[in-house]
Amino acid sequence: MLKPIKTEEQYNEALAQVYELMQKDIQPDSAESDELEILSILVREFETEHYPIPAPNPIDAIKFRLDQMGLSEKELGEILGYRSRKSEILSGKRKLSLTMIRKLNTVLHIPAEVLIQAY
């Protein structure tokens, strides 16, 4: 029977069980697929509470997303509408404006919560 994960030992046991289930050829809508899904949710909740991942620095997020999308820094200047400001932003000399944050959120799909952080 599945139970909430409350200790590190239970967490490690759940991870081992998830790993074991992932090695099998599980059929959709089977008892094993339901077990895997529920265990995954429990593991995620435990990790969120005990191992939170901090949001990335806005500049690092922009650089990462550009790389991920195969875009150049020149194209970032076109997205922002200011070619000259692109280097100031990436170097940290200039802060992102609200208009820039909106464009980066829309075009690069970087969450606004990441872009509005102090840096």
CA 7/CA 100 separation, integer angstroms: 44
Report CA-CA distances (Å) from 74 to 86, 91, 102, 108: 8, 14, 19, 14
Q: Is residue 2 part of a domain?
A: no
Mean pLDDT (the chain) is 93
CA 2/CA 10 separation, integer angstroms: 11
Q: Residue 35, exposed/middle/buried by CB under 10 A (0-12, 13-18, 19+)?
A: middle
Contacts of 107 (CB under 8 A, 6+ apart): 79
Q: In the chain, what percentage of residues exceed pLDDT 70?
A: 100
Q: Is residue 71 part of a domain?
A: yes
Q: Is residue 1 part of a domain?
A: no
Same domain? For 36 and 64 the reply is: no
Q: Is residue 25 part of a domain?
A: yes
Mean pLDDT value of segment 15-37: 95
pLDDT of residue 83: 76
Residue-range definition of the domain harbouring residue 85: 58-115
- Can you give the CATH number for the domain in which 110 is found? 1.10.260.40
Number of domain units in the chain: 2
Give this prediction's pTM: 0.65
| CB 11, CB 43: distance < 8 Å | yes
In angstroms and rounded to an integer, the radius of gyration of the C-alpha atoms of the chain is 21
Q: Given pLDDT bands bounded at 50, 70 and 90, which one contains residue 5? A: very high
Mean pLDDT value of segment 77-87: 84
pLDDT of residue 40: 97
Same domain? For 32 and 64 the reply is: no
CA 12/CA 62 separation, integer angstroms: 35
Same domain? For 32 and 15 the reply is: yes
pLDDT of residue 81: 82
CA 104/CA 69 separation, integer angstroms: 13
